[in-house]
Amino acid sequence: MHNAFNEEVIGGLRDAFDALAAREDVRVTVLAGRGKSFSAGADLNWMRRMAGFSPAENKADALRMAGMFDKLNRLPMPVIAKVQGSAFAGGLGLVSACDIAVGVDHAKFAVTEVRLGLIAAAISPYVIAAIGPSAARRYFQTAERFDAAEAKRIGLLHEVVAADALDAAVERIVGEILKNAPASLRASKALIRETAGPVSEALREETATRIAAIRASDEGKEGIAAFFGKRKPSWTGAGGA
């Protein structure tokens, strides 16, 4: 199980985050995945459908995803990402939009969009905030995989533990959070978000516009076609369309 993104998953996460935002009795949230991966990014069938979307459909789809990440980022209580496996593309965005991230030592990470002729638009505000512009300049443009130790070094993960220590590590952090005043925690989170630079509606609109445009471009279409055709894309000079 790789917890890949599609319309249903994005809608389900949006609904879950809306429900959590309304819960004043919830003092801390843990975002976890089941199976081998935390999230492997886009679902293959969703990618096939996206390749045939009109510009308006692409824009609406991108805005739904951008809104989902914004809802996670704006949850009023502390959110811990419990990263039990690898996280790629949008999955890495989920980790970045959480307040605290603990991951297993065998996890791998990558911002893979440029391999498909796309860009990491919807997740960019959160990933850049987590890892900084310098690391983003590298990983947004190389799409190379990096390990949990590197994820910790650049700020994506706060702690790296063995798989059999993950539950205990998250429970320990939850315990520390529960020692603190609930209203102060929420006020502190809002303070950080607002003083560090909020992700505005205009920024979400801009990122959605950019990914919609590149999905509909010749290069974006070629990247998706090459992926599903199990061939190298044309820009590699090795058998593209």
Q: What is the 3-state secondary structure (H, E, C) of the chain?
A: CCCCECHHHHHHHHHHHHHHHCCCCCCCEEEECCCCEEECCECHHHHHHHHCCCHHHHHHHHHHHHHHHHHHHCCCCCEEEEECCEEECHHHHHHHHCCEEEEECCCEEECCHHHHCCCCCCCHHHHHHHHHHHHHHHHHHHCCCEEHHHHHHHCCCCEEECHHHHHHHHHHHHHHHHCCCHHHHHHHHHHHHHHHCCCCHHHHHHHHHHHHHHHCCHHHHHHHHHHHCCCCCHHHCCCCC
Measured in residues, the chain has a length of: 241
Alpha carbon dihedral 221, 136, 110, 121, in 10-degree steps, equals: -40
Nearest to 170 by CA among 100, 95, 89, 93: 100
Is 113 known to be catalytic? yes
Q: Which of 7, 8, 113, 144 is catalytic?
A: 113
The catalytic residues are 113
